[in-house]
Amino acid sequence: MERVNQTSSVSEFILLGLSSQPEDQKPLFILFLTMYLVTITGNLLIILAIHSDPQLQTPMYFFLSFLSFTDICFTTTIVPRMLLSFLSEKTISYAGCLTQMYFIYALGNTDSCLLAVMALDRYVAICDPFHYVTTMNHHRCVLLVAFSCSLPHLHSLLHTLLLNRLTFCDNNVIHHFLCDLSPLMKLSCSSTFLNEIVIMSEGSVVLVTPFLCITFSYIRILITVLKIPSAAGKRKAFSTCGSHLTVVTLFYGSIFYVYLQPLSTYTARDHIATLVYTVLTSMLNPFIYSLRNKDLKQGLRKLMGRRKSQAAPS
């Protein structure tokens, strides 16, 4: 990806961003810089709280810490480039564009797989609690995380290599704020038939399979919880899933809106949905998981307490 495609006359692309109006650039820069800082701070606090509190050394929080780390990387792949475009640097090199696209798909699908693994963890905890410790042992948790991180990179590499074989002629203006498959394929002056076939087949499988795993897990959880006789028991069981379900709805709702449609129907209206799963979800995750989770809130309070005591003069 370091060289320019030899069959293409395009050496760089122009990212038009969210708005072409000069008066919008400064407010957008301030807004997304604030969102980026909140995202980094919130997810770092989640990671530090989990790794510093022995009570949070469980599979659910192990997976959550990796989700937070992935969200930091995912947002960093996108937002700093957006901030540059707000400051007038709207061009991105051919290699830079493909590199950004590679990491967007690799990290976005890692998020997807981790959400599926977290749903599986809740399924085992609620539907088979007596075997939870042995089923979700540390070795298996590490393997699940390793699989969740490696498979998306292979998926992303496939689509990046297929895109690299396309020819780009004179038009190098991307009507988007990031380098995404659909806008780039629209710019190509060669056939994108193979790319579209792979997206609709392999791409759909990689996108939908984690969602189906989540759906299956929650159907089984719902069946199990409805058999609990006490209302308090039902509330307790559902409370451990509420945060995860909220994140899944935000993430997959926006992704399906953008990607489960033909290439020809992709328009600028999809920018908002793209912002939801690339920027907004990563920013909201720490709030969603901490506000609805007593153990995590307690862990964050302990972390803040230790920081204050270390900062206090002796």
How many CB atoms within 10 Å of residue 65?
18
Residue 185 pLDDT more than 50? Answer: yes
pLDDT band at residue 259 under the 50/70/90 scheme: confident
Query: Would you state the pLDDT for residue 101?
Result: 96
Query: Would you state the pLDDT for residue 249?
Result: 92
Tokens representing 219? 């159907």
- Residue 16 CB-half CA count within 13 A: 14
Residue 114 pLDDT more than 70? Answer: yes
Please name the residues in contact with 31: beta carbons below 8 A apart, sequence gap of 6 or more.
none
Separation of alpha carbons 301 and 313, rounded Å: 20
User: Computed from CA positions of residues 200, 201, 202, 208, in that sequence, does the dihedral angle turn out positive or negative?
Assistant: positive
How many CB atoms within 10 Å of residue 268?
11
What is the DSSP-derived secondary structure letter of residue 167?
Answer: -
Query: Would you state the pLDDT for residue 20?
Result: 81
Q: Any bridge partners for residue 12, and if so which?
A: 93
How many CB atoms within 10 Å of residue 53?
18
Query: Which of 38 and 22 is assigned the larger pLDDT?
Result: 38
pLDDT band at residue 3 under the 50/70/90 scheme: very low
Q: Of the given ranges (94-98, 104-108, 126-130, 298-302), which has the lowest mean pLDDT?
A: 298-302
157-174 confidence digits (pLDDT tens): 999 999 999 999 888 999
Tokens representing 207? 């996108």
Mean pLDDT of 67-71: 97
Instruction: Give the containing element (helix H, strand E) for 278.
Output: none
Query: Would you state the pLDDT for residue 1?
Result: 45
Residue 2 pLDDT more than 50? Answer: no
215-245 confidence digits (pLDDT tens): 999 999 999 988 888 887 778 777 778 888 8
pLDDT band at residue 139 under the 50/70/90 scheme: very high
284-306 confidence digits (pLDDT tens): 999 888 877 777 888 888 887 77
* Residue owning tokens 């070795």: 139
Alpha carbon separation from 113 to 117, 180, 252, 298 (Å, rounded): 6, 20, 12, 27
pLDDT band at residue 146 under the 50/70/90 scheme: very high
29-59 confidence digits (pLDDT tens): 999 999 999 999 999 999 999 998 888 899 9
Query: Would you state the pLDDT for residue 4?
Result: 47
Please provide residue 270's backbone torsions phi and psi, each rounded to the nearest 5 degrees. -75, -5
Separation of alpha carbons 280 and 274, rounded Å: 9
